[in-house]
Amino acid sequence: MSQIHDVTPQDLVQLAVENLGKSYSPYSHYPVSAALLTATGKVYSGVNIENAAYPVTICAERVAVFKAVSDGEMRFDAIAVVTENGGSPCGSCRQVLAEFGLDTKVYIANKKAEIVMETTVGGLLPGAFTPDKLVR
């Protein structure tokens, strides 16, 4: 694992682990936390936020991406995703990440900060539907 900017993959994982307790997951009882590193070196965090009306629940990865984009950041270098058991991002999160680049590194870790998988967004979502596929 290589260092990106002055942030290491383990730094991202540790930040996500530290924020895991901020998850609002009273229905699934499956907290998820993410830490997203932008190309400018800024880090945005996110946690899953559930809702009694399940379809409006939002995942940690998308919270981090939306926070970054709302600040004008649209190029990402890496994201760490932490769950209790090292679960992988859902399809919706994979698609949102693909919108901003298939080369973004993805570190999936458990709550002990052990990286269980290292890949890219493209590795998580082969054949992704990306903006270049739209007919203009």
List residues with catalytic annotation: 61
Token readout for 111 is 């709550």
104 contacts 97 by C-beta, under 8 angstroms: yes
Q: How many CB atoms lie within 10 A of CB 8?
A: 16
What angle, rounded to 10 degrees, do the helices at 60-70 and 91-98 form? 20
In angstroms, rounded to a whole number, what is the distance separating the alpha carbons of residues 56 and 73? 24
